[in-house]
């Protein structure tokens, strides 16, 4: 009997020790929240969605419109009329598409884009200065995809010689360490009226935009080298590059090449995509 009691006591003690060890520790964390932004909507909301980059908020209102706001300050950027039966919305990651469902079991997908007002004054261009269609390309001389898009632009210009102007804007990406010196070199060449010659020469050596190769390109196209080297560090040339980069930011450009046709971002690639957008813009004239 004593042996049995002793064994039971030991088992109870062991069990209590295990329970004590397995018991979760009391949490000492405190939930902390702080408002990131607060603003007043102009409509009574039914549903909403926010872009993955937190830049845009889409609100389905009781007025049968989807209102698009800047998430930073609540500024309304535009609205899209929808069917009164619409009961839910969703969007693509960057807000480039809007998806609708309604009480009639109908699904609708809409392309969403904002026409950007891009300042091209003083930027190098190909084609007629007063052409009704302006194709703006933000580019980077070290970007392998940028060099590949130029033949496409040349071809589309050949097909629309009196209707199209192609404008070059600089966006040297931070990950491309040789892109900024190359951009400055092309702007310095533009000061001597030889931007496009330098443009072609730089893309030819885009895999190695060393100082030596940039200077060789400048010599090969016949630049005044003394003026070229002086212009590379001039405040004027530096300011022109900075302006292009600021313009890219305003237009929401984060990569290269990025194309706009009369302010509308080109979302596809291929000659047929560009021509279709050009035709759409011409139809508005």
Q: CA torsion sign, 45 to 48 to 51 to 52?
A: positive
Residue whose structure tokens are 């530096």: 238
How do residues 184-237 score in pLDDT, each as one tens digit? 999 999 999 999 999 999 999 999 999 999 999 999 999 999 999 999 999 999
The CATH 2.40.10 portion of the chain extends over 45-111
Helix (H, G, I), strand (E, B) or coil at 134: strand
- Asked whether residue 5 carries a pLDDT value surpassing 50, the answer given is no
Distance CA 183, CA 169 (A): 10
Reply yes or no: is the peptide bond before residue 210 cis, omega within 30 of 0: no
The per-residue pLDDT for 134 is 98
Beta strands at 133-139 and 164-170: parallel, antiparallel or unpaired: parallel
CATH superfamily label, 125-284: Glutaredoxin (3.40.30.10)
How do residues 52-109 score in pLDDT, each as one tens digit? 989 899 999 999 999 999 998 999 999 999 999 999 999 999 899 999 999 999 999 9
The per-residue pLDDT for 1 is 43
Taking a C-beta distance cutoff of 8 angstroms, is the pair 97, 110 a contact?
Answer: yes
- Please state the length of the chain: 285
Whole-model pTM: value is 0.78
Nearest to 69 by CA among 28, 40, 93, 90: 40
The per-residue pLDDT for 12 is 42
What is the assigned CATH class of domain 45-111?
A: mainly beta
């Amino acid at each position: 009997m004593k042996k049995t009691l002793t064994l039971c006591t030991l088992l109870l003690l062991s069990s209590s020790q295990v329970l004590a060890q397995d018991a979760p520790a009391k949490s000492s964390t405190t939930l902390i929240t702080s408002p990131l932004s607060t603003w007043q909507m102009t409509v009574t909301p039914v549903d909403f969605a926010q872009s993955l980059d937190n830049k845009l908020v889409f609100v389905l209102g009781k007025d049968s419109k989807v209102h698009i706001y800047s998430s930073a300050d609540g500024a309304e950027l535009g609205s899209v009329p929808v069917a009164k039966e619409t009961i839910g919305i969703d969007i693509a990651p960057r807000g480039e598409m809007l998806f609708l469902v309604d009480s009639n079991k109908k699904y609708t997908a809409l392309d969403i884009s904002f026409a950007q007002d891009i300042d091209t004054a003083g930027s190098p261009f190909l084609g007629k200065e007063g052409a009704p269609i302006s194709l703006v390309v933000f580019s980077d001389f070290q970007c392998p995809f940028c060099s590949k898009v130029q033949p496409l632009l040349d071809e589309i210009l050949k097909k629309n010689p009196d209707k199209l102007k192609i404008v070059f804007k600089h966006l040297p990406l931070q990950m491309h360490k040789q892109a900024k010196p190359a951009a400055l070199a092309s702007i310095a060449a533009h000061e001597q009226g030889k931007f496009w010659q330098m443009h072609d020469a730089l893309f030819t050596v885009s895999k190695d935009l060393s100082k030596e190769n940039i200077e060789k390109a400048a010599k090969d196209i016949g630049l005044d080298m003394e003026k070229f080297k002086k212009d590379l560090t001039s405040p004027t040339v530096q300011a022109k590059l900075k302006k292009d980069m600021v313009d890219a930011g305003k237009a929401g450009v984060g990569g290269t090449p990025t194309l706009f046709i009369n302010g509308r971002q080109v979302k596809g690639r291929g000659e047929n995509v560009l021509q279709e957008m050009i035709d759409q813009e011409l139809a508005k004239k």
